[in-house]
Structure 1
Amino acid sequence: MQSHDLPVLRWGIIATGQISSWFVRDLSLSRQDAKAIHIIQAIGSSTEQKGLKFVETYIPHVSPPPKVYASYEEVYADPHVDIIYIGTPNALHKQNCLDAIKHGKHVLCEKAFAVTSQEAKEIFDSARDKGVFVMEAMWTRFFPLVQTLQRLVHEEKVIGDVHRVFCDLGLDMNLATLKPESRLRSRALGAGTLLDICIYSLTWGLLMLEPRLGDDAEKPRVIAAQTLSEDDEIDIATSVLLHYPSTGKQGILTSTCMAKTPHTFCRIEGTKGYVTVDGVSASAPSAFTYYLKTPEEQSVAGSPMLIKRYEAEHEGFGLFWEADAVAIDIAACKTENGIMPWGETVRVMEMMDEARRQGGARFPQDDNK
């Protein structure tokens, strides 16, 4: 496909933290396999100086450089911006989304999409009324490697019928060294491992336990436990068990901020073998390996295994795949994406609501119900 045939999308970036820096660097890559042309049109920051520093540090080669605004409102109002990318802390997502939608902008909002499922529903109701595209930026779902694994597991059934999935995402955050107002410590900003990183473990469980999404998917029973910090009362470790009553399948999905997960972070078990998934974290897989018993020995314990490994190197961080998908959908006049539809975002948010209800982590938003 020639560049003049590709959809063009002009981005306004809200917030200048780490995830926004990754996103703009990916948008600015020159890729031979790009499915869209991405223009970084505007940057919104708390101060103009901070925004200019962001551009100078992460995308100095972009020409013309994006317009830098010292407020988010000016980005929403910019007539040359088609879509708003929201990289603010979790608790700000709802208002940021609603403000962007009010101005008729499309939205790609970082995970967790909101703090509660009710907030997510309010955002989608607003988007529906305005007729704009909105998607949760669950980038992991858009990795070609993940989609290949889904095909092998669910369509080709290379490991037979899946019956159990383990996934962990742990980081050594050393929270005691952070200021209380840090997004990683502040309940008011939606801190805690559940929304920040366990959402990836949950995502792997859902992707591997069944192929269906959103309202079409079976709703598993959620059993959860959390460990809360004494000072901030945020969850520093969460364990979620998903149990599917119709089949007995289980997902054991965990997170912690007290230890780093090893390179192999996920295991998918089936009746004919199992798969392990590797990467720097559950958010960014780089390889998977499946282990199969030979057909004549599948019933023999400890039998030799057939082994096949898939590896996928790519430039950048891997956020451009979701950006391309968004551009293609908007060009097709769609308001939601088939890989990350609104119903799937709500389903995951409802599971996290239930995990917090059982585990004890609460946010100010819970008091507003």
Structure 2
Amino acid sequence: MISEWFVKDLILSRPDAKVHHIVQAIGSSSAAKGKAFAEKHCPESSPAIYDSYQGVYDDPNVDLVYIGTPHSFHKQNCLDAIAAGKPILCEKAFTLNARDAREVFAAAKKKNVYVAEAMWLRHRPLVKDLKKLLHEDKVIGDVLRSFSDFGIEKDIANLPETSRYKDPALGAGSLLDLGVYALTWATIALDANNPNGAEKPTVLASQSHYGNVEVATSIILKYPSTGRQAVVTSTTNVVGNPDLLTRIEGTKGSIEITGLVPSFPSGFRVYPKFVGSAVAGTLTRAEGKLHDYPVLGKGYHFEADNTALDVLAGRLESSIMPWSETIRMMDLTDEIRRQGGTVYAADSA
């Protein structure tokens, strides 16, 4: 599904496009599947079709590889593409654990190959503007805490055992699929402009499971340097509330982010502080200022453009999602899984 959305956004007609993208090749588990994908999603591109991913890596006409396989394949896919010298944009979660991510980045550094995690949320203009309002303009004063959630109902019990949402061998679980977005909103909200780099918060986490598949995660993050806290949740049991994806509270007001799901926000509203008294029943707040961000397509073209520009400029890392940030987030999910009791085979490999 994500690969479909990504390719559709690549070939959108955009008058303000920073880069012209061409779907040059598609690798799949079979030539028939690859051909069907191309005919449906990029009929005018006529890409080369390969019955393996290696065919894409070895194609001299391919400038940049997008990896949209399940989480558990990412490490090997990246290593194979790096060995072929191909720049990479790899879907989140980047790998199953931080150790594997470090191995991929070490290989990329040794081979001098660009690699970036495809955390498309961070590339959206909405996020750039929000960070400025929060941490430079301080429109809600000093940020104190945030709440973020991502829930999608998947009915895990009735899915086939081979479903990626139910198979731990494919990285099943709400945390890596959904929770990483809620975690991302928390770090966007609470990260201060720290010249020494992004801070690693402390973690208190709990997880629930259906069999050996994690279906709900609850997390409290605390930033030691400031005392800022975040409550982060994810689940495949129920649908989250699109009217309030994330709430960020500060000394002078609050910001509420809305949209279809936390990975696809449409805008946010900045509110002043509440006035009146809760005890007296007079607590109210003003309507607030709406910041609306309609996008063409799904919004994958933001990360596609930025990645292509990075590669064209000869960079080895994304300035928006550098290797250090991927590692920080993977370290957090590792600790959350450790506390919650979710284990993948890759953890002991």
Task: Provide TM-score, normalisation by structure 2.
Answer: 0.95
Q: Deviations over 1:160-179 (max 9, x none)?
A: 11111100000011112221
Which residue pairs with 1:251 in the alignment? Answer: 230
Q: Deviations over 1:324-360 (max 9, x none)?
A: 0011111111000111000000000000000000000
Which residue pairs with 1:234 in the alignment? Answer: 213
Which residue pairs with 1:107 in the alignment? Answer: 88
Question: Are the aligned partners of 1:272 and 1:298 in contact in 2 as well (CA < 8 Å)?
Answer: no
Q: Secondary structure at the match of 2:298?
A: coil
The answer to whether structure 1 residue 78 and structure 2 residue 42 are counterparts is no
Q: Deviations over 1:295-317 (max 9, x none)?
A: xx699983543610011111111
Q: Deviations over 1:89-117 (max 9, x none)?
A: 00100000000000000000000000000
Q: Secondary structure at the match of 1:216?
A: coil
The answer to whether structure 1 residue 364 and structure 2 residue 322 are counterparts is no
Which residue pairs with 2:255 in the alignment? Answer: 275
Q: 1:214 to 1:26 in 2, by over 3 A?
A: farther
Select the residue among 235, 239, 243 that pairs with 1:260.
Answer: 239
Q: Secondary structure at the match of 1:99?
A: helix
Which residue pairs with 1:47 in the alignment? Answer: 30
The answer to whether structure 1 residue 33 and structure 2 residue 16 are counterparts is yes
Q: 1:270 to 1:314 in 2, by over 3 A?
A: same
* Counterparts of 2:192 and 2:262, CA distance in 1: 19
Residue type at the aligned position of 1:236: V
Select the residue among 285, 302, 310 that pairs with 1:329.
Answer: 310
In structure 2, runs of 5+ residues without a counterpart are: none
Q: Deviations over 1:22-49 (max 9, x none)?
A: 1100000110111111111000011111
Select the residue among 170, 191, 206 that pairs with 1:225.
Answer: 206
Which residue pairs with 2:147 in the alignment? Answer: 166
Aligned length: 345
- Give the Å deviation of 1:293: 3.4
| Runs of 4+ deviating beyond 3 Å | 211-215, 297-301
The answer to whether structure 1 residue 353 and structure 2 residue 334 are counterparts is yes
The answer to whether structure 1 residue 286 and structure 2 residue 266 are counterparts is yes
* Counterparts of 1:298 and 1:34, CA distance in 2: 48
Q: 1:213 to 1:247 in 2, by over 3 A?
A: closer
Question: Are the aligned partners of 2:68 and 2:90 in contact in 1 as well (CA < 8 Å)?
Answer: yes
Q: Deviations over 1:254-310 (max 9, x none)?
A: 10001111112110001001011011110010010010139xx69998354361001
Select the residue among 38, 42, 57 that pairs with 2:40.
Answer: 57
Identity of aligned residues (%): 48
Question: Are the aligned partners of 1:214 and 1:344 in contact in 2 as well (CA < 8 Å)?
Answer: no
In structure 1, runs of 5+ residues without a counterpart are: 1-17
Which residue pairs with 1:5 in the alignment? Answer: none
Which residue pairs with 1:318 in the alignment? Answer: 299
Q: 1:215 to 1:256 in 2, by over 3 A?
A: farther
* Counterparts of 2:311 and 2:231, CA distance in 1: 36
* Counterparts of 1:37 and 1:303, CA distance in 2: 49
Q: Deviations over 1:46-95 (max 9, x none)?
A: 111111110111122x24x1111111111110011111100000010000
Of stretches 45-54 and 175-184 in structure 1, the one that deviates more from structure 2 is 175-184
* Counterparts of 2:231 and 2:174, CA distance in 1: 15
Residue type at the aligned position of 2:103: E
Question: Are the aligned partners of 1:46 and 1:71 in contact in 2 as well (CA < 8 Å)?
Answer: yes
Q: 1:214 to 1:192 in 2, by over 3 A?
A: farther
Question: Are the aligned partners of 1:167 and 1:267 in contact in 2 as well (CA < 8 Å)?
Answer: yes
Which residue pairs with 1:192 in the alignment? Answer: 173
* Counterparts of 1:248 and 1:40, CA distance in 2: 47
* Counterparts of 1:271 and 1:298, CA distance in 2: 16
Q: Secondary structure at the match of 1:276?
A: strand
Question: Are the aligned partners of 2:97 and 2:330 in contact in 1 as well (CA < 8 Å)?
Answer: yes
Which residue pairs with 1:124 in the alignment? Answer: 105
* Counterparts of 2:22 and 2:167, CA distance in 1: 34
Which residue pairs with 1:153 in the alignment? Answer: 134
* Counterparts of 1:337 and 1:94, CA distance in 2: 18
Question: Are the aligned partners of 1:218 and 1:244 in contact in 2 as well (CA < 8 Å)?
Answer: yes
* Counterparts of 2:311 and 2:32, CA distance in 1: 32
Q: 1:214 to 1:186 in 2, by over 3 A?
A: farther
